[in-house]
Structure 1
Amino acid sequence: MMGPVLAACLLIILSTAWISQANEALCKKDGGVCSCNNNKNSVDCSSKRLTAIPSNIPVETTELRLNFNSLSKLSPKAFHHLSKLTYLSLDSNQLQTLTPGVFDQLVNLNKLYLQYNDLKSLPQGIFDKLTKITYLDLQYNKLQSLPNGVFHNLPLLKELDLQTNQLRNVPHGAFDSLSSLNILYLTNNPWDCSCKDILYLRDWIDDNKDKVTGAQDAACGDQQSKAVLDITEKDAASDCVSPNTTTAIPTSTTTPASVIYDDIHEIKVPQENFQKFLGYQEPDHLPTQPQCLMSISGYLGLMMSLMLTSAAILYVFHFLKKA
């Protein structure tokens, strides 16, 4: 009678291994696209030269690293199944815009890293659902303006980094709802101190000097380099104009690490053979060599597990029939 019992135990073990293999197809540490920790709550997809986000990231993920890739856009539903995320890094990519609603399901997000991208603007309401966020990094982008109310629903935000963009002013009341804010970075922006709208920023800095890092370094964009904090109503007597899209400021004196990649060429493979298996959300990108290796090894592993499971089932039926 021990034969069927042992066979049943073997069946359970193999079935569990098969399911685990299916769940870990994305997160194999030995050459897979991404790597996961043992608890499956942290996924690291950084520095993989990704041009699209894999769609089969485990739903239980709480930390997701996608930095140092080649992402230029995000699918509107890229993170809609990841409501448990508390940490998301998208820095050091090539993002030029953010799709409205892309972060709407991240209701538990605590930290969001968007620095070192090519963002020129932000959609209206892009951060409205991130009510638990405490850290937001937007430095080293190309932001020319901020939409009205962009930070109005972030009551727990403690640190906000806007330095090294192309901001000329901020909307009136932009920071008034940030009741928990401790640190704000504003330096290295071409603030338009001739515009009346700059008076809100001047008054806010004056009332919150302890929160603004380098308050005196938030300088006007003209040749005088006068601090925003020191301008007068006479200085800011002009009506505001649209942001000057031709005026750019240097973002760095050195090449950021985000653009340093080894010269490894992608292996071109027929798109239709791999697209569905990889689960990519944007069909116009071909998989890279690591993704192909992950697909093949994952497929073989699943097939082996399935064969072993089938053998175990037949083994159980054999003993039950003899019994």
Structure 2
Amino acid sequence: MMGPVLAACLLIILSTAWISQANEALCKKDGGVCSCNNNKNSVDCSSKRLTAIPSNIPADTKKLDLNYNKLSSLSAKAFHNLKELTYLNLDTNQLQALPIGVFDQLVNLTDLRLNRNQLTSLPSGIFDKLTKLTDLRLSGNKLQSLPHGVFDKLTLLEKLYLYNNQLRKVPEGIFDSLSSLSTLRLNDNPWDCSCKDILYLRDWIDDNKDKVTGAQDAACGDQQSKAVLEITEKDAASDCVSPNTTTAIPIGTMTPASVIYDDIHEIKVPQENFQKFLGYQEPDHLPTQPQCLMSISGYLGLMMSLMLTSAAILYVFHFLKKA
């Protein structure tokens, strides 16, 4: 009877080791999905072709790089266990929308980068909890409107990048709370200088041109040679009806933006069998075909664990059958 007992113990030990290996795979310097610098509490998940946020990022992480991936959506709780974050980089992904509350737990965040995604709108209050934010970058998206008061809580904000979007106007008073602002990039937007709504932006730029750089680069969409700052009341004589600034505006089916490494073949991994090992989120947030970039050593380690576990199971069955 000692044989089956020993085999069962061996099976438990091997299973525990395998689970531990899977849970730690994310941040191994010798070949996990992401790379970690424990001394700086930094996690680098950039350029991994990720379609979902890894779920086992260390809770004490302060800097998280997720740029150059294939993220098209985020769970509302994607960052809720990362309350120590001060830097979050989501540049060059395929994000089409931000869920309400996705950043609410990041109360220590000072730098948020969302450049070069496919955002068409922002939810009201999306940045309200980020009261320590000093750098916010939203350039290279498809933003057609901004919600009223979206920047009201960002009194420490120093840099705001809104260039290369589809903005035609901004709500009156949207920049009035940004008392620490030193850089505001507004260029490469189709500003509608024929509507009275543009006069707030003109006046704000005029009042802040000595202390805010970049704002004066805003130019009218229909006549790029004329700056918003130069618009007169006669130029902006029309009462224009604009879309609701708090809701998304559909612009038709968009072709996902290409990102670096598109020519690299993806490694297909069965979703149900390897969800836990890959460290992705719950099944309803997983891609249909998640990919895992593991080192050869990590892969061989996993295979060895599987072989030993299978051998232990066969050993147990053998003794039970004899008994």
TM-score tier, shorter chain, comes to 0.7 to 0.9
Post-superposition Cα deviations, 1:25-60, rounded to whole Å, max 9, x if no partner, equal 211122211000133610000000001010110001
Asked if residue 132 in structure 1 is aligned to residue 135 in structure 2, the reply is: no
Distance in 2, matches of 1:275 and 1:128, equals 33
TM-score, normalised to structure 2, is 0.78
Shift in Å, 1:210: 2.5
Distance in 1, matches of 2:129 and 2:297, equals 34
Asked if residue 284 in structure 1 is aligned to residue 307 in structure 2, the reply is: no
CA-based RMSD of the aligned residues comes to: 3.0
Q: Is the 8 A contact 2:184 2:215 kept in 1?
A: no
Shift in Å, 1:221: 1.0
Shift in Å, 1:22: 6.9
Structure 1 residues 80 and 216 mapped into 2: Cα distance closer, same or farther (>3 Å)?
closer
Aligned counterpart, 1:163: 163
Q: How does 1:300-315 map to 2 (within 5 A)?
A: none
Post-superposition Cα deviations, 1:123-167, rounded to whole Å, max 9, x if no partner, equal 110000000000000111111110000000011101101111111
Distance in 2, matches of 1:89 and 1:117, equals 12
Structure 1 residues 43 and 55 mapped into 2: Cα distance closer, same or farther (>3 Å)?
same
Distance in 2, matches of 1:165 and 1:103, equals 22
SS in 1 for 2:27: coil
Structure 1 residues 64 and 107 mapped into 2: Cα distance closer, same or farther (>3 Å)?
same
Aligned counterpart, 1:56: 56
TM-score, normalised to structure 1, is 0.78
Distance in 1, matches of 2:30 and 2:164, equals 38
Distance in 2, matches of 1:38 and 1:198, equals 49
Shift in Å, 1:298: 6.8
SS in 1 for 2:160: strand
Distance in 2, matches of 1:40 and 1:123, equals 32
Post-superposition Cα deviations, 1:150-187, rounded to whole Å, max 9, x if no partner, equal 00001110110111111111111001111111111111
Q: Is the 8 A contact 1:91 1:114 kept in 2?
A: yes
Q: How does 1:1-323 map to 2 (within 5 A)?
A: 24-39=24-39, 41-223=41-223, 225-242=225-242, 259-261=259-261, 263-281=263-281, 282-291=285-294, 296=299, 299=302
Distance in 1, matches of 2:271 and 2:165, equals 38
Of the structure 1 ranges 157-166 and 287-296, higher mean CA displacement relative to structure 2 is found in 287-296
Post-superposition Cα deviations, 1:82-118, rounded to whole Å, max 9, x if no partner, equal 0000000000111111111000000000100100111
Shift in Å, 1:271: 1.7
Shift in Å, 1:215: 4.3
Q: Is the 8 A contact 2:267 2:291 kept in 1?
A: yes
Shift in Å, 1:300: 7.0
Q: Is the 8 A contact 2:83 2:105 kept in 1?
A: yes
Q: What percentage of residue pairs aligned between the two structures are identical? A: 74
SS in 2 for 1:204: helix
Of the structure 1 ranges 215-224 and 108-117, higher mean CA displacement relative to structure 2 is found in 215-224
Shift in Å, 1:297: 5.9
Unaligned residue ranges in structure 1 (runs of 5+): 1-16, 248-255, 304-323
Q: Which has the higher contact order (CA 8 A, sep 6+)?
A: 2
Post-superposition Cα deviations, 1:276-298, rounded to whole Å, max 9, x if no partner, equal 33231223333324159697467
Distance in 2, matches of 1:292 and 1:284, equals 21
